[in-house]
Amino acid sequence: MKLQASSSRSHSRDTSHIRGPALRRDAAHGAALDPRCYDYQSTVVQLTVTESPPHPLPDALAEVIAQRFRVLAEPTRLKLLDRLRDGPATVGELQKSIGGSQQNISKHLGVLLGAAIVTRERDRNFVRYAISDRSVFDLCERVCGGLRRQMGELESLLGGGR
């Protein structure tokens, strides 16, 4: 899968209202377009899904990727995602599962929501959060696999040096 980034300077375009993925087709190419736009310092990035990442990465795409890693680089958010893997949950349920204050859990859910990794839906008097981008689990599994390999290599080095 390839992500192509096109960027344009736009001081008047406000993308803060864009929250979740809505797929549409590009009439000219038939490619699926993800209209999630990210506005980083007035650079609007539109991602198009194709076959493999461009090399070298355009600056705008590198910033979008780095932002995704920054969102995921927080242990509380990883715990929230791990818990939400079991199914939708309210802030109170998440608080009981992973600990922390309600305010802290809500803050981290807001970051995940803003990055379109989770969704929220009103359920009577509660708001339920759910995973909207399951690809985060593929990334986590790859990272964990790499860590397991490194640990195995380290253990063999330490065990072999005795």
pLDDT tens sequence across 38-92 = 433 334 444 455 567 888 999 999 999 999 999 999 999 999 999 999 999 999 9
Q: Are residues 130 and 75 in the same domain?
A: yes
CATH of the domain at 125: 1.10.10.10
Q: Are residues 78 and 136 in the same domain?
A: yes
31-35, 115-119, 150-154: segment of lowest average pLDDT:
31-35
Q: Are residues 39 and 109 in the same domain?
A: no
Given a cut of 50, whether residue 137 has pLDDT beyond it is: yes
* Phi, psi angle pair for 37, to nearest 5°: -115, 145
pLDDT, position 52: 78
Q: Are residues 104 and 41 in the same domain?
A: no
| Assigned token pair, 40 | 């980083």
Q: Are residues 8 and 76 in the same domain?
A: no
d(CA 124, CA 73): 33
Q: Are residues 22 and 55 in the same domain?
A: yes
Name the pLDDT band for 18 (thresholds 50, 70, 90).
Answer: very low
pLDDT, position 159: 85
| Assigned token pair, 65 | 């990727």
Q: Are residues 52 and 104 in the same domain?
A: no
Name the pLDDT band for 102 (thresholds 50, 70, 90).
Answer: very high
The parent domain of residue 23 ranges over 2-64
Given a cut of 70, whether residue 136 has pLDDT beyond it is: yes
Mean pLDDT over 93-105 rounds to: 97
Q: Are residues 48 and 85 in the same domain?
A: no
Q: Do strands 118-123 and 2-9 pair parallel, antiparallel, or not at all (unpaired)?
A: unpaired
Q: Are residues 86 and 162 in the same domain?
A: yes
d(CA 129, CA 109): 8
d(CA 159, CA 153): 10
Among 17, 39, 64, the domain-final residue is: 64
**Residue of higher predicted confidence among 26 and 151:** 151
pLDDT, position 160: 63
Number of independent structural domains in the chain: 2
d(CA 58, CA 12): 23
Q: Are residues 134 and 80 in the same domain?
A: yes
Please, what is the average pLDDT of the chain?
76
